[in-house]
Amino acid sequence: MTMETEKKMIEVQNVRFVYPHNNEEENVIALDGVDFHINKGEFVGIIGHNGSGKSTLAKLFNAIIFPTQGDVWVNGFNTKDQEHLWDIRQTAGMVFQNPDNQLVATIVEDDVAFGPENLGVPPLEIRTRVDQALAIVEMQAYAHQKPHQLSGGQKQRIAIAGILAMEPECIIFDEPTAMLDPSGRREVMTTIRKLNQDKNMTVIHITHYMSEIIGADRIIVLDKGKIVMEGTPETIFKNVQALKKIGLDVPPMTELAYELRNEGINIRDNILSIDEMVEALCQ
Amino acid sequence: MLKDVTIGQFYPTGSIIHKLDPRTKILLTTAFVVILFFINNLWGYLAAFLLLGVIILMSKIPVGYILRGIKGLVLIILLTVILNLFMTPGAVIASFGPVNITLEGVKIAVFMALRLIFLVIGTSIMTLTTAPIDLTDGMEWCMKFIPFVRRFAHELAMMMSIALRFIPTLMEETDRIMKAQKARGANFETGNIISRAKNLIPILVPLFISAFRRADELATAMEARCYRGGENRTRMKQLIFARRDVVAFVVMFLMIAGFLATTIINIPLLFPL
């Protein structure tokens, strides 16, 4: 392994993915010629409209599905390599959209233990991992509760703890906030940011809420199975018109700045937060 | 309406019976049930009655709560009693027209009724004192000793625990679908049995569709968390036989020996059965 690949957490090489259909003409091309990589410790946001191929991409990272053409590499392992299937899934954990349909056990701590149990970790070590994981997501107090008694945001944090207990290097979030109320969404986003900043975890956050990835290191915009934009949040969000064209909303302050500029007011076009807006307006 | 289902309910009191290892309880309950069918005299049933009584007192579960479990079986017990009472050939002690009650009939009817009642009480003590998930773990261990079933022990236990996990979720969902259909004018309260059953279709169809979708998503999530069956899998919570389990086994073996003794040695009875 060269230095180059060691730095890369995930590498997607010219991937095409087709959902086959009985009638070949009706095959659905979910991804077409997608090519990018994600570095270790990075927080990358992937946004796109429904059907842009973003969830397909998530499943490719975790070797749940395999590219029709091209390759996906996770931590130097090709996802097509069946021998390293479990290494890949252990390295790149995945949190799904529906909090109810990813909790397996009837008790919170048993659910967090599910992953390490599957990996064959010794019982005493599972215990410490479970306690640590619950502490990170701040759910220790709920260790003995039943999942169906928790709120959506809490369930999703338990799902995150379940992945953390497997000690992954990278976590892929596939629209983890789509089914949550605003407060649940805040809880989950705080946890995700904490993982990236304090635990130096590589985070791939797939969403259609722009506001959730303002703090990302890099954003990849998908549309109809292709990467249409890639860059820092500032460079991406200032393309207000292009984003609106593919059915995406820009953060409210960026949109306000855009409208103000249209009205002839001289203001920066890369404003993301309210604070930045205040600063820019009061100059 | 759906929350009234009492099968396999858990009644936590923290008693010593609750703290027993689930495997101990499963094995002892099985032994008790088997023994019930060998007892052929009233002394044996008296002993079984005392045994159950002591265990119930130790479990600190209200007696009324346990007896409620028999309510649902009253019809079956009555049917068994009546059939045995009239259908057993033997010495006639009373006759009503074409049907006769025989001495043997009375004896078998009484025994059958006692057997069924003790059976229900015995097994419900097990489910009332053991958390469902512990019961599943215990069953997984026990199944490893049964030929044929052994190969599927882990899968069966996993299925049971997932079922337990999703019962509340699916109940909530049923409730939600019912409300949604009611809001659209569906009627579940009136009409005869057939039309009521027909009215359930708009609930069952969406419920099934959503259950299948959940199953699919859960399977993906489980695989993403490296689930690959029972091989090389470890458990965080290990079942450990404690001293109280050894005591329970000793007590139970003495009881079994006692029951068998009553069936072999003919202890004189107070009345000729």
Asked if A201 and A169 touch (Cβ cutoff 8 Å), the reply is yes
Task: Specify whether B54 is located in the same domain as B136.
Answer: no
Residue B123 maps to a domain? yes
Interface membership of B235 toward A (CB under 8 Å):
yes
Average pLDDT over residues B210-233: 92
Contacts of B17 (CB under 8 A, 6+ apart): B25, B55, B58, B59, B125, B129
Q: How far apart are CA B175 and CA B167, in angstroms?
A: 12
Whether the CA torsion A38, A43, A47, A53 is positive or negative: it is positive
Q: For B219, name the nearest residue in chain A, comparing CA atoms only.
A: A102
Residue found by looking up tokens 């858990």 in the block = B10
Angstroms from A61 CA to nearest CA on chain B: 10
Average pLDDT over residues A194-211: 91
Interface membership of B222 toward A (CB under 8 Å):
yes
Q: How far apart are CA A243 and CA A236, in angstroms?
A: 8
Residue B142 maps to a domain? yes
Name the nearest CA neighbour of B9 among B123, B143, B101, B116: B123
Q: Is the confidence at residue A217, as pLDDT, over 70?
A: yes
Asked if A189 and A111 touch (Cβ cutoff 8 Å), the reply is no
Determine whether A234 is exposed, middle or buried from the number of CB atoms within 10 Å of its CB (0-12, 13-18, 19+): middle
Task: Specify whether B51 is located in the same domain as B163.
Answer: no
Predicted pLDDT of residue B268: 62
Task: Specify whether B168 is located in the same domain as B263.
Answer: no
Task: Specify whether B17 is located in the same domain as B148.
Answer: no
Count of domains for chain A: 1
Q: Is the confidence at residue B175, as pLDDT, over 60?
A: yes
Of the candidates A62, A86, A120, the beta carbon closest to that of B233 is on A120
Contacts of A211 (CB under 8 A, 6+ apart): A251, A252
Task: Specify whether B229 is located in the same domain as B250.
Answer: no
**Largest separation between any pair of C-alpha atoms in chain B:** 72
Angstroms from B204 CA to nearest CA on chain A: 19
Residue B68 maps to a domain? yes
Q: What is the bridge-based pairing of β-strands A28-39 and A77-78?
A: unpaired
Give percent of chain B above pLDDT 90.
28
Of the candidates A89, A107, A123, the beta carbon closest to that of B234 is on A123
Give the total residue count for chain B.
273
At residue B269 the predicted structure's pLDDT band, cuts being 50, 70 and 90, is low
The pTM assigned to this predicted structure is 0.82
pLDDT digits (tens, 9 = 90+) for B130-157: 988 888 889 999 998 988 888 888 999 9
Give percent of chain B above pLDDT 70.
94
ipTM of the complex: 0.87
pLDDT digits (tens, 9 = 90+) for A22-66: 777 778 889 998 999 999 999 999 998 888 888 899 999 999 999
pLDDT digits (tens, 9 = 90+) for B38-76: 887 788 888 889 989 999 999 998 888 888 778 778 888
Predicted pLDDT of residue B267: 63
What CATH number did the domain enclosing A85 receive? 3.40.50.300
Burial B45-74 (b: 16+ CB within 10 A, else e): bebbeebbeebbeebebeeeebeebeeeee
Interface membership of A96 toward B (CB under 8 Å):
yes
Q: Which residues of B touch A90 (CB under 8 A)?
A: 226
Q: How far apart are CA A136 and CA A124, in angstroms?
A: 19
Task: Specify whether B78 is located in the same domain as B116.
Answer: yes
pLDDT digits (tens, 9 = 90+) for A114-165: 999 999 999 999 999 999 999 999 999 999 988 988 999 999 999 999 999 9
Residue A109 maps to a domain? yes
Residue B1 maps to a domain? no
Task: Specify whether B115 is located in the same domain as B163.
Answer: no
Residue B260 maps to a domain? yes
Task: Specify whether B66 is located in the same domain as B20.
Answer: yes
At residue B273 the predicted structure's pLDDT band, cuts being 50, 70 and 90, is very low
Count of domains for chain B: 2
Task: Specify whether B182 is located in the same domain as B255.
Answer: no
Task: Specify whether B208 is located in the same domain as B116.
Answer: no
CA angle B86, B91, B92 (to 5 degrees): 55
Residue A240 maps to a domain? no
Predicted pLDDT of residue A1: 41
* Boundaries of domain holding B142: 132-239
Residue B252 maps to a domain? yes
Task: Specify whether B120 is located in the same domain as B253.
Answer: yes
Residue A134 maps to a domain? yes
Of the candidates B132, B168, B226, the beta carbon closest to that of A148 is on B168
At residue B271 the predicted structure's pLDDT band, cuts being 50, 70 and 90, is low
Task: Specify whether B126 is located in the same domain as B260.
Answer: yes
* Boundaries of domain holding A206: 41-60+79-235
